[in-house]
Structure 1
Amino acid sequence: MHKTLIGSQLRQLRREHGHTQAEMARRLNVSPAYVNLLENNQRALSVKMLMALTEAYGLDLREVVNDRDLSTLADLRAAVADPAFARHKPDLQELRAVVDHAPRFAELFLSLYRSHHGAVAQLARLGSDLTEDGLLDTAAETAIHDFFRDNRNYFHPLEEAAGTLRAQIGGASDDMYALLKRHLRMQFQIGVVLKSTEDMPDTLRFFDRAAGTVALSAALDHPNRVFQLAHVLSLLEIPELLETLTKASGIEVEATRARCHVELANYFAAALLMPYAPFLERAEATQYDFDRLASEFDVTFEQVAHRLTTLHRDGARGVGFFLLRIDRAGNVTKRVNATAFALAEKGGACPVWNIHNAFATPGMMLRQIVEMPDRTQFFTISRTTDRPLLGGDGQDNRLVIALGCERGEAHRLASARPLNLDRSPVSKIGINCHLCPRPSCPQRAHQPVHMDLPLNTDRRGKTRYES
């Protein structure tokens, strides 16, 4: 293989993540001096370092390495990391031999694996809806989720518009309810009225444009009343921008487009109440302490969690988070993701993940380190969030929020302090049993649809699906 020097690309990668040479060295398990030598092109990129960069930073080295053999080797190593090859995984020396002596076979194998991986990804998007009719159906929430993910869950025009309006409104976070009411009245002649749940039995907020009023339900707590006013304000302040972004989604179904429009308005509302730069500054200063952020910006835990998933501005990035919200039946009611974590679309989440256990401990934060079938590891927290109650049936509307980031970034979080990140046990999870290739999982409830597990009639394994 040719001598490969990537000093400038390595330096740029480190700066994009806000890491010092010492921090990068810790992630790569080398000395800071060696990182310095690599950045100054005094050392060539070794295969070992190539793999370390791929695993620590998720870097697609085909963009920076011109050596075709080195790129093919990296692709092969990533492919055989799939749990489907767990029993007969070739080592690095064998993979090198394939690249050197059978390059066309390597290309054909990678092409076949990409087709397999694409099919599995399609199944993952379908979640538990694996019926024949379901294969032809693309859920509305999936279209919206994909649009947001394609934009890294960050919309700079909305951030700019929200920042400008926040500067115009002024004031502190704990005054926002009065300030938003005043702005609506002075700029748009819109009044705000609070109504009892008897007057609004099945509605939390109603914006009557003709009457010039916004009716809010008394079932909403203070932070959610503020958020609803911020949402209405987006419809009045930036209607053209919201429509432009909605059209950019490429969604053709009218009902889905309307839903996307609502989510973009919600994004603006969060950006208005938690302005990007001040919010990121406080997040870093508090080590992403969710409760302190909620208190300082006068918002809810769920609103903080959702805002944390949007911190992807170039040159000012926060920790990369994903968010999943489920109900008691395990249905996914919200999913936001700009990470490599695979989120279930329609429930059936892995029982090994402690997200479901949070219902038994309301208000408490459950921590866990999890590993996906592709061996990527994440630190996750799960905690309940209370929803407004409109009916009198006595049932609560409690949901669970799961928030997670890559394990390598967990040391930046105050919530990870109770865990020893280097020694804590790792829970091996999957999207759901239909799609999980893990062998010998005691929680398996279904045979995987894309592979056969080994079965020996003379042996009883942990489940009836393999032995």
Structure 2
Amino acid sequence: MVESSLHAGPALRRLRRNAGLTQAAMAERLDISPSYLNLLERNLRPVSARLMLALAERFDVDPRDLTGDEPGGGLGPMRRRLSDPVFADLGVEPGEIEDWLAASPGTAAAFARLYDRVQGGGGGVAAGVTVDDPVARVRGEIERWRNHFADLDHAAEELADALRLQSGDLYSAISERLRTKHQLSIRILPENVMPGRLRRLDLHARQLQLSEMLDMASRTFQAAYLLGQLEHRADINALVAGAQFGDRTAERLYQRHIFSYFAAAVMMPYGRFLRACEQSGYDMLLLQRRFGAGFEHVAHRLTTLQRVGQRGLGFFMIRIDRAGQVSKRFGGASRAPLADTEVTCPLWHLHQAFSRPSQVQVQVVELEDASRWLTLARSVQGAGYGAAGTTAEFAIGLGVPVDQAATLCYARGMDLSAAGATRIGPGCAMCKRGDCPQRSKPPIGIRLKFDDRERGVTPFDFVTD
């Protein structure tokens, strides 16, 4: 099991300054050299497990306080902000952004906050226009926790163990607990009785009503979701209050995410699920069958395996529709740039998943920063009918850094080297690869060049220096 590197320079610098210590004084208390602490604060070295323990013992630091403190959300989100056309003439390079985040995290965070508050429609900055995106704020809070809520995960694991003693079938066990402890029954209703609805709690009839359109995995998930609402609402509301959104919409979105997190944790209890992942090489089909879960349930759960001392691989997850619009994404421990982009690259096999239903597409991709990722993609269908009888369809993308991928069953026979990787980018507007035949638009902030005597593979030739 591979631990992800943790770079926490801004958090360490803030901790030192709040304690009123010089670098030399703090280094002495941590039994490291001042020069090494300087490298840590500049994000040039990761925080080791030994140093993490020393910080916990001598400064009473919770690891979560170190993992979610990148100004503006980190490199990916800052690159997105600076790709706005209003900055196009500045030609800001990724390296400059990294230096800025490391050297001046406070001013970077201030820029991000100001930009987010004055960001207008159409992707540009409109002075005087205030847009506060609750979805983005909730995602930021989820990423701050690395999508792992340790106390809630332990509570879900204890509940799952108790339900197993009651029955070998989780759905039956939850149904019985709802009946005996909460005087609620589960009733499956025809689609025409619940048009446009998958779940309804009828307190008058004392029923959890579920649509017949839900498959067995989704019925179990919805029943576990209700159990979380009934038995752990106080714990979850405390997490929501701690986020300090000050906005009811953001609070409700965040609350819904955590209830869903709890339901998935009941279906896939942490210890048993992680053991199954490691024993099977993270075989998605096996995990689905063993835990009675859907592909998307399992994919989401893989991004949450961040328990201290018992970590899984650093998966990221993204969900898109046929138009390439992102409706769900979790960077996980890997902080994957692929989970930060608003537009996905058409060369990524994520888009091929729609034309190959139920097949897992495996691909090694290389980003512009030379990082390589083993990615999996598969299409999934939503439940129920919408307007004109349409059914939702999405593609789920998963990935891990190639240096963690060797233990995956999907890596067998794969060339994980640069030679075997497909070179992709974060969407044409932000990608500076000059030889891509799939390019649809020039990169923002780059000067185009024209030559009437030649025609390249793309209509957009440009100067990168």
* Deviation of 1:453 (Å): 4.1
2:55 corresponding residue in structure 1: none
1:294 corresponding residue in structure 2: 288
2:260 corresponding residue in structure 1: 266
Q: 2-side partners of 1:242 and 1:68: how far apart?
A: 39
Q: Which amino acid aligns with 1:154?
A: H
1:320 corresponding residue in structure 2: 314
In the alignment, is residue 440 of structure 1 matched against residue 425 of structure 2? Answer: no
Q: Deviations over 1:69-122 (max 9, x none)?
A: 983998799x9xx9x9xxxx9xxxxxxxxxxxxxxxxx9998599989997999
Distance 1:374 1:173, change over 3 A: farther
Distance 1:385 1:313, change over 3 A: same
SS state at 2:330 partner? strand
In the alignment, is residue 143 of structure 1 matched against residue 137 of structure 2? Answer: yes
2:270 corresponding residue in structure 1: 276
SS state at 1:403 partner? strand
* Deviation of 1:123 (Å): 8.9
- Tell me, which stretches of 5 or more residues in structure 1 are unaligned? 1-15, 19-55, 90-106
Distance 1:109 1:189, change over 3 A: closer
Q: Which amino acid aligns with 2:250?
A: T
Stretch moving more, 166-175 or 155-164: 166-175
In the alignment, is residue 162 of structure 1 matched against residue 156 of structure 2? Answer: yes
Q: 1-side partners of 2:409 and 2:164: how far apart?
A: 30
2:147 corresponding residue in structure 1: 153
* Deviation of 1:68 (Å): 6.9
SS state at 2:123 partner? coil
2:173 corresponding residue in structure 1: 179
Which of 247, 254, 262 pairs up with 1:253? Answer: 247
* Deviation of 1:423 (Å): 6.2
Q: Within 5 Å, give how 1:67-78 maps onto structure 2.
A: 67=35, 71=39
SS state at 1:405 partner? strand
Q: Which amino acid aligns with 1:66?
A: P
In the alignment, is residue 429 of structure 1 matched against residue 424 of structure 2? Answer: yes
C-alpha contact (below 8 Å) 1:363/1:384 kept by paired residues: yes
SS state at 2:417 partner? coil
C-alpha contact (below 8 Å) 2:287/2:298 kept by paired residues: yes
Q: Which amino acid aligns with 1:429?
A: I
* Deviation of 1:364 (Å): 0.9
Distance 1:269 1:373, change over 3 A: same
Q: Deviations over 1:360-381 (max 9, x none)?
A: 1111111111222322221101
In the alignment, is residue 218 of structure 1 matched against residue 217 of structure 2? Answer: no
Q: Which amino acid aligns with 1:260?
A: Y
Q: 1-side partners of 2:41 and 2:241: how far apart?
A: 41
Stretch moving more, 254-263 or 194-203: 254-263
* Deviation of 1:340 (Å): 2.4
Instruction: Please give the root-mean-square deviation of Cα atoms over the aligned residues, in Å.
Output: 3.9
2:302 corresponding residue in structure 1: 308
Q: Which amino acid aligns with 1:405?
A: V
Q: 1-side partners of 2:110 and 2:102: how far apart?
A: 12
Distance 1:127 1:114, change over 3 A: farther
Which of 325, 345, 351 pairs up with 1:350? Answer: 345
Q: Which amino acid aligns with 2:345?
A: C
C-alpha contact (below 8 Å) 2:217/2:292 kept by paired residues: yes
Q: Deviations over 1:371-411 (max 9, x none)?
A: 22322221101111122133584544221110001111111
- Tell me, which stretches of 5 or more residues in structure 2 are unaligned? 13-31, 46-74, 80-87, 94-98
Q: 2-side partners of 1:234 and 1:273: how far apart?
A: 12
C-alpha contact (below 8 Å) 1:231/1:266 kept by paired residues: yes
TM-score by length of 1: 0.73
SS state at 2:39 partner? helix
SS state at 1:149 partner? helix
C-alpha contact (below 8 Å) 1:165/1:272 kept by paired residues: yes
C-alpha contact (below 8 Å) 1:123/1:435 kept by paired residues: no
Stretch moving more, 141-150 or 387-396: 387-396
* Deviation of 1:448 (Å): 2.9
TM-score by length of 2: 0.73
* Deviation of 1:253 (Å): 2.0
Percent identity of paired positions between Structure 1 and Structure 2: 30
Which of 384, 409, 412 pairs up with 2:407? Answer: 412
In the alignment, is residue 130 of structure 1 matched against residue 115 of structure 2? Answer: no
Stretch moving more, 456-465 or 285-294: 456-465
Q: 1-side partners of 2:410 and 2:113: how far apart?
A: 31
